[in-house]
Every structure is written in structure tokens, then in C-alpha cells.
């Protein structure tokens, strides 16, 4: 792995982004951008923002209101569960703050009501199947071997699903010393 010690000086925290270093070859996390929803002594979890399914949430649940938005694969853990992040805040009871004006979860029945009322849309709500998780110290070990670059989530809009090249564009928004990483080949053995 490349030594990112001189450029990756931000510690992971709730609400931050984890950006896979360019040579990370894990098939699931290769060139991924993850929103960390929790990070503490017990472990960490978040959602991959740039892995999509071909399904819509209406296909997953009977009697779910029409919702025009993709369902993402949040990670390799618990693919039988649906998770969501949003900007609905206190309008959705039980929401957990994860960043400035950014929340996770909340009452599912209330969420359906907000969708029907047009208050919850693909502009302020995003669905995920599964999540990405790390046991205590596991993420610290991955940070120690420079598997991840950490950034504040303010450099992107976590609700934006229109960016097909999120990994590259996120690094470019972080400045020249990160932009150069986008030139690394996906498969270094072909270089």
C-alpha cells in the first residue's frame, strides 16, 4: 500500500467520509466512499454511497408509497435489512443525528406518511440494503495501514446519487494532493 501518512491526517468520526485508497483491492470496498454513521470505542458503521442496486424501494416492500430513488448497497453486513439516511430531522420521530442536518433511521411508518405527503423525496432521503461495519479497533487497524482517506462529509451531498464517479470527484474536491490519486490504475498489475 502507498504511504498516505503525509496526506491522511484527519481521524475518522461520526459523519465523516471514508474514501478507499486507490490500491485497495477488496472487491466490495474497491474505490468506495462510505458515510460513517457511528464511530466509537465499540466499533464503527456506515453506508457505501456509490454502490447501487437495480431495485427501487417499492420492489422491496408491499404497500410502500411510490418513491423515485435508487436503493444502494450500504455494505456487506445484514443485506436483509433496509436502512436510510435523510435530512428530515425532527419531522421523523426516532431519527438519529449523524452530522449537520443529516440523520439516520426513524419511525418507518412515519417515513411512509412523509413520502405520501411529498415531504420525503429523493432529494432528502436515501435507502440502503445492508451496512459496512467494523469491530472495536478494526477500523483503526485499517487506518494504520492506510486503507482509507478520511474527509468531512461537507465536501459532497450524501443525498446526491447523480455522480457516477463519486470516488474520483470526492478526491478531486479535496485538492491537488488527493486528485493525483485518481490517476492510479484500478488494476496496478496491468500497468
Quick check: 94 pLDDT over 70?
A: yes
Give the integer Cα–Cα distance in Å for 26 and 28: 6
Q: What is the pLDDT of residues 129-157, one digit of tens each?
A: 999 999 999 999 999 888 999 998 888 99
Domains along the chain with CATH numbers: 16-190 (3.40.1740.10)
With cut-offs at 50, 70 and 90, classify the pLDDT of residue 8. Answer: low
Q: Are strands 16-20 and 70-73 parallel, antiparallel or unpaired?
A: unpaired
Region 179-184: mean pLDDT is 86
Give the integer Cα–Cα distance in Å for 112 and 101: 20
Quick check: 72 pLDDT over 70?
A: yes
Question: Based on C-alpha coordinates, what's the Rg of the chain?
Answer: 17
This model's pTM is above 0.85: yes
Amino acid at each position: 500500500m502507498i504511504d498516505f501518512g503525509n496526506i491522511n491526517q484527519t481521524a475518522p468520526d461520526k459523519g465523516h467520509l471514508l474514501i478507499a485508497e486507490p490500491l485497495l483491492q477488496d472487491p466490495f470496498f474497491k474505490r468506495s466512499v462510505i458515510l460513517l454513521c457511528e464511530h466509537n470505542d465499540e466499533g464503527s458503521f456506515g453506508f457505501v454511497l456509490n454502490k447501487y442496486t437495480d431495485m427501487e424501494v417499492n420492489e422491496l416492500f408491499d404497500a410502500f408509497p411510490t418513491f423515485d430513488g435508487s436503493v444502494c448497497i450500504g455494505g456487506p453486513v445484514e443485506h436483509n435489512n433496509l436502512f436510510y439516511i435523510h435530512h428530515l430531522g425532527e419531522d421523523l420521530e426516532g431519527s438519529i443525528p449523524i452530522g449537520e442536518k443529516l440523520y439516520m433511521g426513524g419511525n418507518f411508518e412515519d417515513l411512509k406518511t412523509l413520502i405520501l405527503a411529498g415531504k420525503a423525496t429523493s432529494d432528502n432521503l436515501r435507502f440502503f440494503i445492508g451496512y459496512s461495519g467494523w469491530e472495536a479497533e478494526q477500523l483503526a487497524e485499517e487506518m494504520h495501514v492506510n486503507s482509507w482517506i478520511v474527509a468531512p462529509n461537507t465536501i459532497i451531498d450524501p443525498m446526491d446519487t447523480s455522480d457516477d464517479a463519486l470516488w474520483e470527484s470526492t478526491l478531486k474536491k479535496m485538492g491537488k494532493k488527493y486528485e493525483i490519486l485518481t490517476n492510479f490504475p484500478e488494476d496496478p498489475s496491468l500497468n
